[in-house]
Amino acid sequence: MEILSNLALGFSVALTPFTLMLAVIGCFLGTIIGALPGLGPSNGVAILIPITFTMGLDATSALVLMTSVYYGAMYGGRISSILLNIPGDEPALMTTLDGYPMAKKGRAGDALVLSGVASFVGALLATIGLMFLAPVLARVAYLFGPSEYFALYLLAFCTLGGLASNNQAKAAIAACIGLGIAMIGLDTVTGMPRLTFGNLHLMDGVDFLVAIVGLFAIAEVFFFIESHGKDTSIGVKLEKVTLPIRDIVSSGWTMLRCSVLGFIAGVLPGAGASLGSFLAYMSEKSIAGPNGGFGTGVPKGVAAPEAGNNAAAGGALVPMLTLGVPGSGTTAVLLALLMTLNITPGPTLFAERPEVVWGLIASLLIANFVLLLMNVPLVKIFVRVLQVPAWVLLPGVTMISFVGIYSLTGSYFDLLLMVAFGALGYVLRKLDVPTVPIILGILLGNEMEENLRRAMVISDGDWTYLFSSPIAIGLWIAAVAGFMAPLFLRKLLKKPQMITD
């Protein structure tokens, strides 16, 4: 039992009082960072890196602290999604779709506990997957070339139509706006600037965090101003927190399926946690069918994206550790931390530095249990942060948004851009155009375009190259089915109920 002895080695490293303390601190900080809009896991971890150096932590302690923050932020992101309808970070985007309606029905506590449990299941399964399968799974990355990635992103966009249940055309428009915004910046194939109007700040394109915070948090502030504090969506009541056992049991399979799907999405470099939670949500939605009530605040709609994004967070560690290819923004930051500690992730890491790898895995397991405790019985503490009266909370959210966004690039330009996105979000919400597809367009549009163009360079412009592998063909079939299915289903079934929010 080599794994057991390795794990024992890992726990011997991770289970000292000092590292345990670091894990608890990391989980707590991470949950808060995740819950605050504008501070996502990647800039949260990046901001904390210098602290590990000034504290003089050794490699393992620093890793324990940072990964606890990472996992904590993945848990925390859901809190503001559910209570405020503002995603705390980009993977928590999908949790707003059912989490917030559920909270509005007066079941905020249930939604929080359920999503906490779903996060735990997803993260735990992913950590176990990382433990047993990492060296094998690293090979999966070798199977994905430009045409496969293109088909994968296409699949995501094809299922997008099902996202807005009341008006698909508006969802499509929103996705196009997102894709258009994604085009801004340096064209990586020719190196030519596009839609930058000669502005150096736009050369790297628009950071999706700027868009998320603007479209959700700042737009919310505008609505608040308009209504003079009345009729704002802020202020969901949370009475008492109980364990919604029936919901947890009934979403059991959902959590398992989404964990597996999220983990796979995480393992693929370039897909990441956002795609993980998106695919998890969409697949559960199609399994449930139009009568499943997704989008109206059903427990499964809360459990699915949370299990998916937490599993993807664990999955993203696989290519980071075994190949040195970060699978997401946050793992890119963790990669930087490792390299600063003179640990070069790559194919030889598991053999050469077992104490680092297994210490990390053990601390992930510990962090996960700490987070379950912190996020289920103690969830009220975090909720209180967001439960102060709206006239106190919103200025606070605004301030933190500004600080968080400024910490991204240290330029005031992003702040202006964020406010512009806020105005856009306000207008779009008035027009009843959903904002989630915009974010997905920005998140996935660039990668999708780049992979298409890489495929075209490799094949000298031969489009049949896009269907040249079984994986690509499979993804294309799924994409076409995902696009066509709702069209036919709608004729068979009644028009879905109007849901506005």
Partner 1 sequence: MPNITLKALGLGAALSLGALAANAAECIAPANPGGGWDFTCRQIGKILYGIGQVDSPVQVTNMAGAGGGLAFTHVVNERNDDPDLIVAASSATTTRLAQNAFGGATADQVRFVGAIGADPGVIVVAADSEYETLDDLVNAIKENPGKITFAGGSAVGGFDHMKPLMITKAAGIDDVRAIKYIGVDGGADAITQTVGGFTQAMTGDMSEIVGFIKSGEVRALAVLTEERVPGFEDIPTAMEQGYDVVAVNWRGLYVPKGISDEDFSAWAEKLQAVADSDEWKAAMEANGLAPFTKVGDDFQNWIDQVVADTESMSRELGVIQ
Residue of 21, 136, 169, 403 interacting with partner 1 (CB under 8 A): 403
Q: Output 312 or 343, the one with its CB closest to partner 1.
A: 343
Distances (CA, A) of 224 to 161, 391, 393, 426: 30, 9, 11, 11
Q: In Å, how far from its chain's centre is CA 453?
A: 26
Q: Output 186 or 485, the one with its CB closest to partner 1.
A: 186
3-state class (DSSP) for residue 293: coil
Tokens 């793992």 sit at which residue?
Answer: 331
| Cα atoms in the 13 Å half-sphere on the side-chain side of 78 | 36
Cβ pair 218, 90 in contact under 8 A: no
Residues 119-158, mask of contacts with partner 1 (x by CB under 8 A)? ----------------------xxxxxx------------
Greatest Cα pair distance in the chain: 65
Cβ pair 362, 61 in contact under 8 A: no
Instruction: Tell me the H-state helices in 241-323.
Output: 245-250, 252-267, 272-288, 299-315, 317-322
Calpha distance 20→366 (Å, rounded): 8
Q: Output 58 or 204, the one with its CB closest to partner 1.
A: 204
3-state class (DSSP) for residue 116: helix
CB of 326 to partner 1, least distance (A): 7
Tokens linked to 165: 């249940």
Calpha distance 499→501 (Å, rounded): 6
Q: Output 293 or 315, the one with its CB closest to partner 1.
A: 315
Site for partner 1 in 185-244 (CB under 8 A): 186, 188-191, 198, 200-201, 203-204
Calpha distance 480→485 (Å, rounded): 8
CB of 468 to partner 1, least distance (A): 10
Cβ pair 207, 409 in contact under 8 A: yes
Q: Output 102 or 408, the one with its CB closest to partner 1.
A: 408
CB of 134 to partner 1, least distance (A): 14
Site for partner 1 in 17-76 (CB under 8 A): 29, 32-33, 36, 46-47, 49-51, 53-54
Residue of 64, 160, 335, 374 interacting with partner 1 (CB under 8 A): 335
DSSP 8-class letter at 460: T
CB of 10 to partner 1, least distance (A): 21
Q: Output 246 or 384, the one with its CB closest to partner 1.
A: 384
Tokens linked to 302: 């809360």
Q: Output 204 or 226, the one with its CB closest to partner 1.
A: 204
Q: Which stretch binds partner 1 (CB under 8 A): 96-104, 241-249, 367-375, 384-392?
A: 384-392
Question: Applying CB under 8 A, does 388 fall inside the site for partner 1?
Answer: yes
Question: Applying CB under 8 A, does 410 fall inside the site for partner 1?
Answer: yes
CB of 409 to partner 1, least distance (A): 6
CB of 388 to partner 1, least distance (A): 5
Question: Applying CB under 8 A, does 354 fall inside the site for partner 1?
Answer: no
Tokens linked to 137: 């799974």
Residues 258-287, mask of contacts with partner 1 (x by CB under 8 A)? -----------xx-----------------
Distances (CA, A) of 452 to 275, 461, 462: 18, 10, 11
Question: Applying CB under 8 A, does 484 fall inside the site for partner 1?
Answer: no
DSSP 8-class letter at 201: G
Cβ pair 371, 71 in contact under 8 A: yes
CB of 124 to partner 1, least distance (A): 27
- Classify each residue of 425-454 as buried b or exposed e, where b means 16 or more C-beta atoms within 10 Å of its C-beta: bbebbeeebbbbbbbbbbbbbbbbbbbbbb
Residue of 5, 227, 348, 497 interacting with partner 1 (CB under 8 A): 348
Q: Which stretch binds partner 1 (CB under 8 A): 16-24, 226-234, 303-311, 454-462?
A: 454-462
Count of residues near partner 1 by CB under 8 A: 69
Residue of 288, 332, 423, 473 interacting with partner 1 (CB under 8 A): 332
Q: How many residues does the chain have?
A: 501
Q: Output 5 or 411, the one with its CB closest to partner 1.
A: 411
Q: Output 380 or 490, the one with its CB closest to partner 1.
A: 380
Question: Applying CB under 8 A, does 291 fall inside the site for partner 1?
Answer: no
Q: Output 169 or 203, the one with its CB closest to partner 1.
A: 203
Q: Output 136 or 388, the one with its CB closest to partner 1.
A: 388
Tokens linked to 216: 């959700």
CB of 98 to partner 1, least distance (A): 26
Question: Applying CB under 8 A, does 470 fall inside the site for partner 1?
Answer: no
163, with CB counted inside 10 A (0-12, 13-18, 19+), is buried
Question: Could you give the angle at the alpha carbon of 375 between the alpha carbons of 369 and 379, nearest 5°?
Answer: 155
Please give the single-letter amino acid code of residue 42.
S
Residues binding partner 1 (CB under 8 A): 29, 32-33, 36, 46-47, 49-51, 53-54, 141-146, 186, 188-191, 198, 200-201, 203-204, 269-270, 323-326, 332-333, 335-337, 339-340, 342-349, 381, 384-385, 387-388, 392-393, 396, 399-400, 403-404, 406-407, 409-411, 454, 457-458, 460
